[in-house]
Structure 1
């Protein structure tokens, strides 16, 4: 299949708000694929190619972009093969080899294909083809029950492989997909609420547990063999020997555990998230120890527990791993839930997760049975630039570049602004139209995709925190930034400072 067909489908999906229309467009694409291309295309649509991350960053992608091809000629197989070459490149001369592969790929791509390839490689493909929509499309294309497709995908942890099985296999083969110790499953996700009392109104009696600012892990033990996976199902066993040792010491034969791991300071408190991620991703010498905390058990010694109530699963978890269970209390009392939340925050954690005690483990899904409650951090930042949108946002200025005030000139000119991130989230249609008109009036220069503006507009941004980053001159990047509102009551000189944001890197540091 030509890559152009895939790109045109993603453009159609992006341009509509109708879930039904999205599903039908994707299902039509899936029906036209050769079987061998199905897993590849599903991976591309979700910006998770089968090769995983191939080490291409924003700078490398930008450097490779040249004049686009005038006519489509690339196939899905061509892109897949290029990703294979990028993944395989290593050793002396690999940088030049990778750059050559990228330049050759983008030179053969049309403008739309170039944007699609960049989105896939940078993990920034915004097509509206979320996995739930794509799962529905697989069921439609295969003429199989969507619940059967969804369960097979979550238990296999592989939507591409599930799509191939659903479309080319039988209903019995699809139903036969089950939980296997050693094969990761998609993690259950949580919704959000503004308060513990609001969450309890939804869940009823619940386990109110600390929300740690760590790295999600899923640990499988089969006899003496332990394997550890991330929330994206990448295997990281070799990086976490201390977690392997803990799980080997548990009084079980076979088990699947869900939890978090994080680094601790000398007093047993949590270290900043970036330190955990730095240690979590280290293949080299390890100076920080990662401590595992578990909050669920999905399988125990031959017994699948996905469909058991949370109360049962927690009872078993407390029996096999009492020293490694995340702190929390079971309650239906809003006052107790709020107390647990305060204790979690006082201990340096993010907040709490409120979990209905009667709920099953809905792998791969975000529902109302798990609800996270975290204090929202908001900061007033300055708009430095804005990127043109695509798809439904084509012709509108969308992705906002955000800067923090640097009054002392620690990272640039005194009184200037230091870029700390971007966001396109939280923008209503009205705000998009306002941005497009306002920022063009404030324009000082532009590139092909970006309008740079006078730094005079203040925007209130909600974030989950910051993390260390070499991408921006201030050494930090915002985590999960989203627009709350524009502040016409504030001047840019009243914006929050880069020093305030950097204070969030320190436990107990600055807060809004």
Structure 2
């Protein structure tokens, strides 16, 4: 299939607000693909090629961009082969070879195809074709139940591979897709509440656990082989040898564990999040050690635990890793839960997560069974633009325009971001320098005072609440917003939603 067909389909998807129309357009495209093209095409459509990140940044893309081709000739297979070459080129002289490969690819692409390829390689394709829409399209194209496709994609962590099975395989083959030790699973996510008592009203009896300010990890052990993945399913085993060594001491053969890792001080108190992420992102071992804490177990020695209640999973976790469990207590009493929260805060942690004891592990989902509670309301938002500063910040990009995710398209196109406020508070000189450089690299347009950027940067914002406002399309504005940190470990699709923020009006 020509790449042009993917581009035309993404244009059609982006041009309509109708979810049904999006699904139909994508399903029609999927049906026209050859079996060998399905996984590749799905990866391109969601800007997650099967090769993963191939090391192309904005500067490399700009330098490789030349005059576009007049007519479309590139095929899906051509792009896939070029990405294979980019991924496999390393060693002396590799930079020049990679640049040549990228220039050749882009020189054979039309202008619209160049923009599409850039969006794929930079992970910034904005078409409205979110994974949820494409998952529905896969089900439609294959004539399979949506829930079966969704579950297979969540458990495999691979929508492209799931699409191939759903469209070309049997229903039995699709239903057979399950947990595999060594293959990462999309992590379960938590909603947000303003108080522990409010969270307990939703969950009923719950495990109230410390909310650590660390990096999410999923650990797989098969025999003596251990693999560690991030919340975005990237493998980081080689960066965490201390975690590998610890997991090898557990009395298990095969296991999948969910948890957090963070740096601790000599007194056992958590170190700042930036220290954890600096160590977490290092390709070589550093002096700072990361300690793992586990809060869930998904598989143990041939037994899948996803569909077991949390109470059962916690019992298994207590048996195999009692010294490495995140502290917490099972209760339905708000006073007891509040006491756990006070203990967590006194120990230097963020707050608590309240988890319904009867809940199953809903991979990839953010529901009401897990609810995080922090004393200061914090939300992960997306930077939409940034204004130039004044005074001592002259020449620096300072005032952030903040957007919340609108997955349902209640305030525009599904999957877009709704502006909810601005802030320049909480920015250190280091962050000002960083964002001034970074945002100009990803800018899409500018005026004299403002640089608009691709909506790909997640920032954690602390607020005192929200208020009704006609200034922004979502009808709310943030109160006393300030920057806590940038979240390199989160994708824009994991940002908090406009619906979550609007719920604060009622609470």
TM range (shorter): 0.7 to 0.9
The residue that corresponds to 1:154 in the other structure is 154
Distance 2:351 2:309 in 1: 23
Match of 1:89 in 2: 89
1:123 aligned counterpart, secondary structure: coil
**Structure 1 runs of 4+ off > 4 angstroms?**
403-407, 419-424, 426-432, 461-471, 473-478, 480-488, 500-505
Deviations 1:335-394 (A, max 9, x none): 433443344344333332221110111122222212223433599xxxxxxxxxxxxxxx
> SS of the residue aligned with 1:26?
helix
Alignment of 1:152-301 (within 5 A): 152-301=152-301
Deviation at 1:144, TM superposition (A): 1.3
Find out whether 1:418 has 2:380 as its counterpart: no
Q: Which residue in 1 is equivalent to 2:328?
A: 328
Q: 2:377 maps to which residue?
A: 376
1:484-503 alignment, distance < 5 Å: none
Superposed CA deviations along residues 152-179 of structure 1, whole A, max 9, x for unmatched, are 2222222111111111111111122222
User: Structure 1 residues 402 and 82, CA, compared in 2 at 3 Å: closer, same or farther?
Assistant: same
Q: Is the 8 A contact 2:136 2:146 kept in 1?
A: yes
How far residue 296 of structure 1 moved from its aligned partner, in angstroms, is 0.2
Q: CA deviation at 1:262?
A: 1.5
Q: Report the equivalent of 2:10.
A: 10
Which residue of structure 2 aligns with residue 47 of structure 1?
Answer: 47
- The TM-score with structure 1 as length reference comes to 0.78
Aligned pairs for 1:115-154 (under 5 A) are 115-154=115-154
Q: CA deviation at 1:471?
A: 4.3
Q: CA deviation at 1:294?
A: 0.4
Q: Where do 1:450-469 residues align within 5 Å?
A: 459-461=421-423
Determine the C-alpha separation between the residues in 1 that align with 2:92 and 2:114: 28
Cα drift, residue 188 of structure 1: 1.5
Question: What is the deviation of 1:33?
Answer: 0.6
Cα distance in 2 for residues equivalent to 1:339 and 1:404: 45
CA-to-aligned-CA distance 1:68-124 (integer Å, 9 cap, x gap): 333322221122122112212222222222222222323332332222222211111
Structure 1 residue runs of 5 or longer lacking an equivalent are 380-397, 433-457, 489-495, 506-512
The 3-state SS of whatever aligns with 2:358 is: coil
Matched, 1:479 2:463: no
How many residues align? The count is 450
1:401 aligned to 2:385? yes
Cα deviation per residue 1:190-230 (whole Å; 9 max; x = unaligned)? Answer: 22333333322222221122222322211122222222222
Task: Give the superposed CA RMSD.
Answer: 3.7
Q: C-alpha displacement at 1:318, in angstroms? A: 1.5
CA 1:157 to 1:163, structure 2 compared with 1: closer, same or farther past 3 Å? same
Which deviates the most, 118-127 or 158-167?
A: 118-127
Matches within 5 A, 1:279-358: 279-358=279-358
Unaligned runs of 5+ in 2: 413-419, 440-456, 472-479, 488-507
C-alpha change, 1:481 and 1:127, in structure 2 (3 Å) is farther
Superposed displacement of residue 503, structure 1? 9.3
| 1:98 equivalent in alignment to 2:98 | yes
Sort the Cα spacing of 1:323 and 1:48 in 2 relative to 1 into closer, same or farther, 3 A: same
Mapped contact 1:142–1:166 kept (Cα < 8 A): yes
Normalised by the size of structure 2, how large is the TM-score?
0.78
Q: How many angstroms does 1:406 deviate by? A: 6.7
Distance across 1 between alignment mates of 2:266 and 2:486:
19
